[in-house]
């Protein structure tokens, strides 16, 4: 029988989303007009966390990328939430 190998799709997607989220979250602090940036980082971070958890618990071939992407997603969510609170004047 042919065993189907688990591909690293979720791991790579989580890692890329984590990098994109973390590299663009700083626009909240530097772009003067209140734009859509604060509302886009929460979904990007959540999807990175979910994909990272799926990759980690499915034991993908590159599960460490999924774990890293999940951690980057958590950082994106925290920094994005703080930036949103600063933009709204709550901090």
Report pTM: 0.78
Instruction: Spell out the SS3 assignment of 24-59.
Output: HCCHHHHCCCCCCHHHHHHHHHHHHHHHHHHHHHHC
The answer, yes or no, to whether residue 1 has pLDDT greater than 60, is: no
pLDDT in tens, 13-36: 899 988 988 888 777 777 665 555
CB 68 within 8 A of CB 8: no
pLDDT in tens, 42-91: 788 888 899 988 888 887 778 888 888 889 989 988 888 887 787 778 87
pLDDT at 16: 92
């Amino acid at each position: 029988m042919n065993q189907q190998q688990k591909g690293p799709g979720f791991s790579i997607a989580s890692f890329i989303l984590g990098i994109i989220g973390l590299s663009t979250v700083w626009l909240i602090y530097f772009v003067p007009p209140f734009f859509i940036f604060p509302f886009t980082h929460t979904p990007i971070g959540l999807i990175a966390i979910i994909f990272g958890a799926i990759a980690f618990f499915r034991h993908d071939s590159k599960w460490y990328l999924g774990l890293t992407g999940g951690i980057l997603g958590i950082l994106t969510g925290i920094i994005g939430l703080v930036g949103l609170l600063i933009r709204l004047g709550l901090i």
